[in-house]
Amino acid sequence: MAWLSVPHPRLSWSDALARVADAVALVCLHTPDGDTLLAVAPEVRALRGWDDLAALTARAADDAPTAPPTTPGWHAHGPGWVVQLDYEFPAAAGVAWRCAAYARWSASGACTLHATDAASLARLDAALDQPALACPTPTLTAALTPAWTAAEHGAQVERIRAWIAAGDIYQASLTLPVTSRLARSPNPDVGLFLALATQSPAPYAALLRAPGRPSVVSNSPECFLRQRGSAVWSEPIKGTRRRIPGAEIATRAHLLGSAKDRAELAMIVDLVRNDLGRVAVPGSVHVEAAAAVMDLPYVHHLVARVGARLRPETGFADAVRAAFPAGSITGAPKIRAMQIIAALEAGPRGAYCGTFGWIGAQHADLAVTIRTLTIADDRVRLHAGGGIIADSNGAAEWDEVRAKAAAMAAALGGTL
């Protein structure tokens, strides 16, 4: 397939997004490599099962440019797909946006336009030359309302601890839904995405808009699954401390030295190793980093890295299926933890705790959909949660939930 790439006059991704903010279908995606992708009116396709995802990854391989790439980075692999799967996938349909034309910003801010043909390239260029539209940060008309109180959260924690004591599970991730309503404003999803990207940048972030679905605005720090050729890896997060200005060194040391948090992460590392082992070359699954501290504007996290090599007959869609949903947001053992989650939480999680990201030819970057809001009409919904183990404390878990929700609440002008 032909693949056209041309430089574009200096235009920031935020300025470009404001110029196309009224598009019916829209994707803006940040990657941990520092790239930003913007696709305007891409083809949208429903994903109704794992076979659909496998067909999509096969299509990405078929669409790969015939000429070798001349510049580094995921964009050099040509057209691809941005996907979003709800936590309940495949019981709930996923969605994919085919990015046959997009603008890309490198970590240095340089912008290039990419497309499969000259006509698509010209349409994208024309869209980016339109005047910027109003995208104010949306405001709340009512307080952010959690599905249960701090005391009730503590009671939920105790129920999980009882299941742990009975030998049902080792850990379960309990998440709190929070809802409110937004004042009417133009392009609220774009305004919120811009506010989060400014106030609380994260390694993965996305604005995902498709007809007939809630807009997804995510500011996630967590890697679900990445691919480079036959190499795949996951970077689960477990263990959190609220960030205190001026006390970062002490807080990092406390987190890294916490036996509870390191044990919590070790359980999930084992789960991820098992998941990847189902699709990996025997002996290739390995822990590249057992525990490191990740610093974010509002919190510090412990993160690990588990790598593997895919078997020759195994595709990336098989790896996603083997590892989905991410162990860090379910618990261990995964199936029993998910049953307990369903019994305790207030309805489906939806986009939260699913995955989103880029899938191309032999190149993929998928995030765990945490630190995420969904917007439908004037309703906004977010979740925050944490892993519960035998020595978890209800009050500490409630504080962790509030810390994780802080950036999203602040972007909306509210508190939790």
So which residues are the catalytic ones?
222, 238
Q: Which residue has 């999930």 as its token pair?
A: 268
Distances (CA, A) of 60 to 315, 321, 324: 12, 17, 20
How many CA atoms within 13 Å lie on the side-chain side of 196?
Answer: 29
Query: Cβ of 85: how many Cβ atoms within 10 Å?
Result: 25
Question: Which residues, at least 6 apart from 382, have a Cβ–Cβ distance to it below 8 Å?
Answer: 144, 177, 178, 179, 352, 372, 373, 374, 405, 408, 409
For residue 412, what are the contacts with CB-CB under 8 A and spacing of at least 6? 137, 138, 139, 140, 144, 180, 182, 192, 380
Ranges of H-type helices in 237-392:
248-256, 259-277, 316-323, 334-344
- H-run or E-run covering 367: strand 363-368
Q: Are 319 and 348 in contact (CB under 8 A)?
A: no
The span from the CA of 14 to the CA of 274, in Å, is 40
Nearest to 350 by CA among 228, 224, 217: 217
Classify residue 140 by its DSSP letter: B
Strands 286-295 and 331-332: unpaired
Task: Let me know: does 273 contact 343? Beta carbons within 8 Å.
Answer: no
Q: Where are the beta strands (DSSP E) in 54-93?
A: 80-85
For strands 299-309 and 231-235, give the pairing. Answer: antiparallel
CB 215 within 8 A of CB 206: no
Cβ atoms 298, 406 nearer than 8 A: yes
